[in-house]
């Protein structure tokens, strides 16, 4: 029997995943990529998206269909009974009657955990507010492992919106389990919240907070650039104040040398120059593509079919 740390489980937060479990999941992704099989024939995935999404929703859709399964769902809550006042709890209780596994994206922190409490079906968090985005982290780690051959002991600089960026919150937790050294580059108003700093303290992860990318040493392994999360700002004036800073361009990355891996979860707005697409370390389209095999593997694992 192959190891399946996800059997019947929910995928809600990277805080629920230990180092060995992450390694096993990545190994299963690799194995699935080499030997893809339609193992979910007759199964139905419900994609419940209460917030905008391109990659997460489409890649879960593609993943389920490539596995031989089918998908139902919605891409915004306006066309659903939520707009009539239905609670999230009731929506999940109803959806569980129509499917075998649920993916949810929702603007409220903790919503995916609540959904998981409402049903005995496996629930996968496709992003809950500014809290967590665990499947993005697994595809980020998978991409890193494929490109650099390792995920242990990397020096990673996170750049941009570390306050609201859920991809950052999930990934720093996991990297801290693998002995990463971190540089946290953001304006003071968008620093990593204390709650997530606790993850770093717990793992004794070395991290330095700076305001300027020029303070980051040239030998870092990875730059992980993020979008300023406009939709989470209470004050539009505050957004305008910070959005022009933290733009990464070919000139900015020149001093980092040829071995740099450049990552971004996408969508990018103006923080990442399009000319960087031809940088040998540019990984964003790979990240997006790897999302399908990683999500195929996750769906197959939680449903006990891999």
Interface ranges with ligand NCD (CB under 6 A): 55-56, 127, 133, 136, 166-167, 227, 265-267
Nearest to 14 by CA among 200, 171, 194, 180: 171
Q: How big is the CA angle at 134 (ends 129 and 136), to the nearest 5 degrees?
A: 95
Residues 6 or more apart in contact with residue 282 via CB below 8 angstroms: 262, 276
Output the smallest distance, CB 179 to ligand NCD, in A.
25
Residue 43 or 106: the one with the smaller Cβ distance to ligand NCD is: 106
Residue 222 or 306: the one with the smaller Cβ distance to ligand NCD is: 222
Output the smallest distance, CB 231 to ligand NCD, in A.
8
Q: How big is the CA angle at 243 (ends 240 and 249), to the nearest 5 degrees?
A: 150
Output the smallest distance, CB 133 to ligand NCD, in A.
5
* Cβ-count burial 285-304 (b if 16+ within 10 Å, e if not): ebbbebbbbbbbbbbbbbbe
DSSP state letters, 186-199:
--GGGPPPHHHHHH
Count of beta carbons in the 10 Å neighbourhood of residue 41: 10
Residue 23 or 264: the one with the smaller Cβ distance to ligand NCD is: 264
Output the smallest distance, CB 126 to ligand NCD, in A.
7
Residue 162 or 305: the one with the smaller Cβ distance to ligand NCD is: 162
Are 263 and 143 spatial neighbours (Cβ–Cβ below 8 Å)? yes
Output the smallest distance, CB 79 to ligand NCD, in A.
20
Residue 43 or 133: the one with the smaller Cβ distance to ligand NCD is: 133
Residue 265 or 281: the one with the smaller Cβ distance to ligand NCD is: 265
Output the smallest distance, CB 165 to ligand NCD, in A.
7
Nearest to 306 by CA among 48, 14, 104, 24: 24
Q: Is 171 helix (H, G, I), strand (E, B) or coil?
A: helix
């Amino acid at each position: 029997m192959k190891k399946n740390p996800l059997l019947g489980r929910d995928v809600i937060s990277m805080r629920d995943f230990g180092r060995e479990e992450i390694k096993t999941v990545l190994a299963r992704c690799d194995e699935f990529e080499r030997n893809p099989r339609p193992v979910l024939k007759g199964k139905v995935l419900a994609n419940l998206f209460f917030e905008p999404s391109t990659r997460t929703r489409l890649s879960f859709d593609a993943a389920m269909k490539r596995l031989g399964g089918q998908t139902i769902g919605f891409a915004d809550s306006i066309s659903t009974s939520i707009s009539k006042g239905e609670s999230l709890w009731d929506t999940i209780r109803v959806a569980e009657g129509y499917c075998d596994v649920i993916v949810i994206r929702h603007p409220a922190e903790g919503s995916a955990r609540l959904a998981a409490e409402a049903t005995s079906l496996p629930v996968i968090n496709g992003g809950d507010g500014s809290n967590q985005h665990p499947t993005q982290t697994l595809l980020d780690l998978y991409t890193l492992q494929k490109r650099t051959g390792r995920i242990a002991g990397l020096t990673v600089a996170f750049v941009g919106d570390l306050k609201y960026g859920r991809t950052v919150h999930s990934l720093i937790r996991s990297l801290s389990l693998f002995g990463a050294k971190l540089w946290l580059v953001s304006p003071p108003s968008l620093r990593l919240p204390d709650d997530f700093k606790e993850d770093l303290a717990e793992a004794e992860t070395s991290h330095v907070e700076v305001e300027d990318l020029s303070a980051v040493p040239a030998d870092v392994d990875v730059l992980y650039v993020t979008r300023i999360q406009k939709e989470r700002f209470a004050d539009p004036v505050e957004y305008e104040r910070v959005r022009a800073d933290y733009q990464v361009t070919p000139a900015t990355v020149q001093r980092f040398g040829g071995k740099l891996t450049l990552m971004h979860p996408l969508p990018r707005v103006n923080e990442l120059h399009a000319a960087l697409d031809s940088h040998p370390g540019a990984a964003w389209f790979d990240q997006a593509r790897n999302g399908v095999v990683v999500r195929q593997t996750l769906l197959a694992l939680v449903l006990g079919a891999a």
